[in-house]
Structure 1
């Protein structure tokens, strides 16, 4: 039986990791191309000072959300999929597994298609190489995920410092080309967007990833390590990605760091950045899929599930389905944050800040309190005109808290056993 990375149980205390290890993995996860594209839409819509305010506020909210889940993950040793058993029930948790897993495999398909297409475009190869490259990268990117935490850690320790250096070089070059801070301050926006919409875009860039960052924060040696590492990744790391995309769009009319570096003449660095940027997110993404898949199937054969997920991602990419999946995946981003809201309320309100051991817990098949709260939170997010992710999390937490308090003397109404 495969027991690496504890897909169906708590991470033991003697297997926990320090701040550097957790931080580089989470930073590698948040260094992602699509985040820069989102930043590009902001760069064209705001003056520089207002742009910075939107990035700081949005990523502070995103970081706080991810850090709260990171704290729970470290305290319990559980990831989001396993915590779902407590708040949704043994069978009910399969709903969140499907939502989380499908989102990740969709992004995996998008990632391997993106690197194949961009590499062909950058190097001048024939378009006939696109499909073979999708297949190659689809299997290659899952290698470190198959190894598990150690593989992700090893890659991130090399890739994150390199990417940070490339980004700083590019930002400095861009600042010079723009005429310094004075030049940036003088840039006039060419598009329009409300400040609330900008905050929503910033949070939406990686709120799905923040919900599943528990896969690594549960390995933290202490809650303090989990919170600091998560904030570093989702406030600083994700914020840097949004800022890079915004400035690239502002200065070069290109949001992606690879396109910006090509425009700056850094061809070799651009290709290296492309590989590292995509790889460090892809292996984390397929790892997320495997964790959700293990809980869904109740199997600890994480490596087998990882390979299966990679094959599904390759099929989606080669079939061109990734083009149709992106709008749906963005929509799912509205429905993922309420899962985190229910988990937080369940942990602090119902369980008083401490879960029992998963193997010893007597869990219902369906926890209707959690499922109803999730449905209400998702509906609130979907119909909210402002800050859907924030509204979804808040409403799910509030609903769960109210129901738990109201049903405290009547638990049978909140839980139905199979």
Structure 2
């Protein structure tokens, strides 16, 4: 969104680079169109049935929208990146700890998308060209390709993705229409329930929250470029509309065909090649962005680490996870994120609005902010106990994390909050 070389990593965005909230909304919506997101929509629809899947899509989107609306205002009013906002609320060294968690998370997403893309390539070659290549070789070759793109060519592939993603959306809409035509009636879709499933509505909702829970934390990176408060709130519609739309576009064809693999679904409509090309480009872009963001995050931890070397190391680690079948643990990974991430949002929300009273000055950054770190650790530990059902608070561990982070942090900071204004 900016031509500035460092993308205002440590400084405030200047008015010359402000954009419309609708531009940001489209960018956010486009992130939902990847193999991993479509896989989630299919898995949950086949695991729950369509009616319950819609409820899970709706509840998770509502939770994430509310959280994003809170944090988008911080980015818009401070004009600072999440990286800098975390410096204020967690301290310089505390922010490095949080950033490390974000970096590991992004590498995890890189591994999942890499593995699923490898499976898609394997299925395409097998079904269309009648020959097979080792999945491991595909994963390694694809990882190498994405790594080179990340180091040298991410800007050009993003430009290609800006064209391919709207085309992919239209294409998936067409497949959605074909799926509805093949169903006996709309009631057949709404009445579909799986014969056997270990999936529950709560588990599905938790997984979906975990899948996008970094959005509320990182929303400032987008909203700092938006012109006004009102437009920054409108930009959240990219998640509110785009994410459930992506899930539904993958859910209906999966129910109609009984398949989770998007390439196998497209095989039912003789659309394997165009589907593969579009998915490859969108997932290539998304995964290059995952690796790029993870590497930038890790370089903030130690200034001596060069970006190129961090990209290579991160790629190797992510590739190893993909080769080990990390996607098998995708649901557990997302539930784990639902424990760790929400409290970060509530802590820096309180810090900005109630402690700093919407005034961030770079000279106010300290080395450590123990209250924020202790609040985050305690809320995560307690939320982990509610996740394992040792006891219950709200009944939803991701809400426990968000609320506990706020309550514990308020307990530490109540004197600062209620101090007289100057």
Please tell me the TM-score bracket, short chain as reference: 0.7 to 0.9
1:28·1:280 contact (CA, 8 Å) conserved in 2? no
Instruction: Work out whether 1:330 is the aligned partner of 2:339.
Output: no
2-structure distance, mates of 1:46, 1:69: 31
Q: How does 1:13-412 map to 2 (within 5 A)?
A: 13-46=15-48, 48-124=50-126, 125-128=131-134, 130-131=136-137, 134-140=140-146, 143=149, 154-190=159-195, 191=197, 193-232=199-238, 234-298=239-303, 305-306=310-311, 309-314=314-319, 316-317=321-322, 320=324, 322=326, 326=330, 329-330=333-334, 332-333=336-337, 334-356=339-361, 358=362, 361-385=363-387, 386-406=395-415
CA RMSD of aligned residues (A): 3.1
Distance 1:126 1:192, change over 3 A: closer
After superposition, what is the alpha-carbon deviation per residue over 1:35-76, rounded to whole angstroms, capped at 9, x for unaligned? 333333432354544432332222121122233322212222
2-structure distance, mates of 1:88, 1:33: 34
2-structure distance, mates of 1:239, 1:110: 20
2-structure distance, mates of 1:104, 1:204: 13
Distance 1:186 1:286, change over 3 A: same
1-structure distance, mates of 2:373, 2:253: 42
1:290·1:309 contact (CA, 8 Å) conserved in 2? yes
**1:296 counterpart SS class:** coil
- Structure 2 residues not aligned, in runs of 5+: 388-394
Work out the number of aligned pairs and report it: 403
Q: Which is worse superposed, 86-95 or 263-272?
A: 263-272
Deviation at 1:107, TM superposition (A): 1.6
1:18·1:221 contact (CA, 8 Å) conserved in 2? yes
Distance 1:145 1:389, change over 3 A: farther
Deviation at 1:158, TM superposition (A): 0.9
In structure 1, the partner of 2:12 is 10
Deviation at 1:374, TM superposition (A): 0.7
1-structure distance, mates of 2:350, 2:313: 33
Distance 1:290 1:374, change over 3 A: same
After superposition, what is the alpha-carbon deviation per residue over 1:154-178, rounded to whole angstroms, capped at 9, x for unaligned? 2442122112111101111111122
Deviation at 1:305, TM superposition (A): 4.6
**TM-score when scaled to structure 2?**
0.83
Deviation at 1:282, TM superposition (A): 1.1
1:101·1:292 contact (CA, 8 Å) conserved in 2? yes
